[in-house]
Amino acid sequence: MDLKNILSNRIEAVNQALTVTLDVGEQEKLRKAIRHIPMAGGKRLRPVLAMITADAISGKGEKVIPFGVALELIHNFTLLHDDIMDKDSTRRGVKTVHVLFDEATAINAGDVLFARAFETLSTTEVKDDVLRDLVREVAAAVRNIGEGQQMDKDFEDRLDISEKDYLKMIEYKTAKLFQIAAKGGAMVAEGTKEQIEVMSEYGRLLGMGFQIWDDYLDLKADEKLLGKPVGSDIKNGKRTLMVVHALAKLKGEDRETFLMALGNQNASKEEVKEVIKIMDNVGSTTYAKQMALDYAKKSKELLNVLPESEHKDLLGKITNYMVTRKK
């Protein structure tokens, strides 16, 4: 049985709750706009991670659903706003909200998803003092995501981004939400203080590995499986780990070729292919792949804070999936 089948019950429960949560508001256009991307797909990794963590601690995964849905809403709100900033026109195989409707509607729909997340979070069945902590930590995570997104955008104009800068950026932009997913799952399940802190670190490391693998896929995936052109990060000028590595290593003609394509929306398919070859040759793609695997390995070791169970094993499988997935 593959992972998707094993997770299907949980994904279905999240999708049902998400559908109910998004059935809100009186303004038809806005109702459509907020449902558009959340209902177009998505792996529901964050809510599922929270649920399995809670199951592994106390078998109370069901209780985590409102919290998990809140995280999914937050993830989707950031997608809507990021797509405006990055001028992306497709997402999950459909038009982005600012393209299908207009930019004002996309900004607004993002804000409404964000607000709806905190409404949903407030219904989580936990002790009120735990809820207060969750609100504070989720809100801080969203603030960090904004900071990470700002770094990501600002890095696009710079050639002096260090690996440290890059790691900080993805920690904020991506890992913080995985971190609070695992931590929050442990909090709702009333884990020990140690379990909560260790699962927080597990989520952070997992998120780091996830993002590095995501960047790796942009260059190395099978285009048909990925659902978007390979190398779009190159054309968008994104400072991925591989770009940072290549910028530090490349010299001479290869560097010229590389810089010509980086951030160049008009770079041809052949030019992008050539650049990927250059990055392969200088070791950038292998370097990134290895670092993603290392993060996953380190995160898996932390799972020893959990008692033995099928749920713990499942978290191990999810960790592997994060850095072996094809899309």
Q: How far is the CB of 152 from its own copies (least distance, A)?
A: 10
Of 36 and 245, the one with the shorter C-beta distance to its own copies is 36
Q: What is the distance between the alpha carbons of residues 7 and 12, in angstroms, rounded to a whole number?
A: 9
User: What x/- string results for residues 140 through 179 when contact with its own copies is judged by CB under 8 A?
Assistant: x-xx--xx-xxx-xx-------------------------
91 forms bridges with which residues in the sheet? Answer: 94
Nearest to 318 by CA among 304, 294, 291, 300: 300
Q: How far is the CB of 156 from its own copies (least distance, A)?
A: 10
Three-state SS at 91? strand
Of 151 and 212, the one with the shorter C-beta distance to its own copies is 151
Q: How far is the CB of 13 from its own copies (least distance, A)?
A: 22
Q: What is the distance between the alpha carbons of residues 65 and 18, in angstroms, rounded to a whole number?
A: 9
Q: How far is the CB of 134 from its own copies (least distance, A)?
A: 9
Of 208 and 292, the one with the shorter C-beta distance to its own copies is 208
Contact yes or no for 127/73 (Cβ under 8 A): no
21 binds its own copies (CB under 8 A): no
Backbone angles phi, psi at 94, to 5 degrees: -125, 170
Give the DSSP per-residue string, 186-239: HHHTT--HHHHHHHHHHHHHHHHHHHHHHHHHHHHS-HHHHSS-TTHHHHTT--
Q: How far is the CB of 325 from its own copies (least distance, A)?
A: 28
Of 136 and 277, the one with the shorter C-beta distance to its own copies is 136
Q: How far is the CB of 56 from its own copies (least distance, A)?
A: 26
Of 154 and 194, the one with the shorter C-beta distance to its own copies is 154
Gap between the terminal Cα atoms of the chain: 19
Q: How far is the CB of 127 from its own copies (least distance, A)?
A: 8
User: What x/- string results for residues 101 through 140 when contact with its own copies is judged by CB under 8 A?
Assistant: --xxx-xxxxxx-xxxxxx-xxx---xxx-xxx-xx-xxx
At CA 260, angle to CA 259 and CA 261, rounded to 5? 90
- Enumerate residues 6+ apart whose C-beta is below 8 A from 1: none
- Tokens linked to 297: 């390995």
Q: How far is the CB of 141 from its own copies (least distance, A)?
A: 8
Contact yes or no for 108/102 (Cβ under 8 A): no
Of 118 and 274, the one with the shorter C-beta distance to its own copies is 118
Q: How far is the CB of 212 from its own copies (least distance, A)?
A: 21
- Tokens linked to 243: 């770009």
- Enumerate residues 6+ apart whose C-beta is below 8 A from 147: 172
- Chain-centroid distance of CA 202 in Å reads 15
Residues 56-85 that bind its own copies (CB under 8 A): 77-78, 81, 84-85
Of 169 and 189, the one with the shorter C-beta distance to its own copies is 169
Of 39 and 118, the one with the shorter C-beta distance to its own copies is 118
Residues 24-53 that bind its own copies (CB under 8 A): 24-27, 29-30
Nearest to 35 by CA among 77, 78, 86: 77
Of 122 and 162, the one with the shorter C-beta distance to its own copies is 122
- Residues engaged in binding its own copies (CB under 8 A): 24-27, 29-30, 77-78, 81, 84-85, 103-105, 107-112, 114-119, 121-123, 127-129, 131-133, 135-136, 138-140, 142-143, 146-147, 149-151, 153-154
